[in-house]
């Protein structure tokens, strides 16, 4: 009898969420031409990192635009400064 090849499942840690909370997904977009915008986004992400369900890696090039997709409780997303709010909606 050979050894069984068992695949290990990677458990993804997610922040605990309120079962009654509305979970939303949002896109943060910053422009390098706007002074302080990327730093403001990084500070906001650092502040809320543990309470958000998901934060993507920076999907922008980083030299002229930075883009993060975030998911979490609507009340937390609502604290995002208006300067960082993307006008694009995300579809599933």
- The answer to whether 44 and 84 have CB atoms below 8 angstroms apart is yes
Question: Does residue 17 lie in a domain region?
Answer: no
Q: What percent of the chain has pLDDT over 90?
A: 63
Domain presence at residue 39: yes
Report how far residue 2's alpha carbon sits from residue 50's, in angstroms, rounded to the nearest whole number: 43
pTM: 0.72
Number of domains observed in the structure of the chain = 1
What's the Cα-to-Cα distance from 4 to each of 1, 7, 26, 35, 57, rounded to whole Å? 9, 9, 42, 57, 35
The whole-number average pLDDT for the span 7-33 is 72
Q: Is the CB of residue 86 less than 8 Å from the CB of residue 27?
A: yes
Residue the block writes with tokens 């980083």: 62
57-76 pLDDT per residue, tens: 999 998 999 999 999 999 99
Which of 19-33, 53-67, 68-82 has the weakest average pLDDT?
A: 19-33
- Tokens 């910053």 belong to 30
Does the structure show a pLDDT above 60 at 24? yes
Structural domain of 71: 33-81
């Amino acid at each position: 009898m050979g050894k069984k090849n068992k695949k290990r499942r990677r458990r993804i840690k997610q922040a605990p969420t309120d079962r009654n909370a509305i979970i939303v997904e949002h896109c943060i977009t910053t422009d390098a031409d706007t002074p302080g915008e990327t730093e403001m986004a990084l500070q906001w992400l650092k502040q809320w990192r543990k309470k958000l369900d998901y934060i993507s890696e920076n999907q922008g090039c980083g030299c002229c635009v930075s883009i993060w997709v975030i998911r979490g409780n609507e009340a937390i997303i609502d604290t995002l400064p208006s300067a960082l709010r993307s006008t694009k909606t995300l579809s599933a």
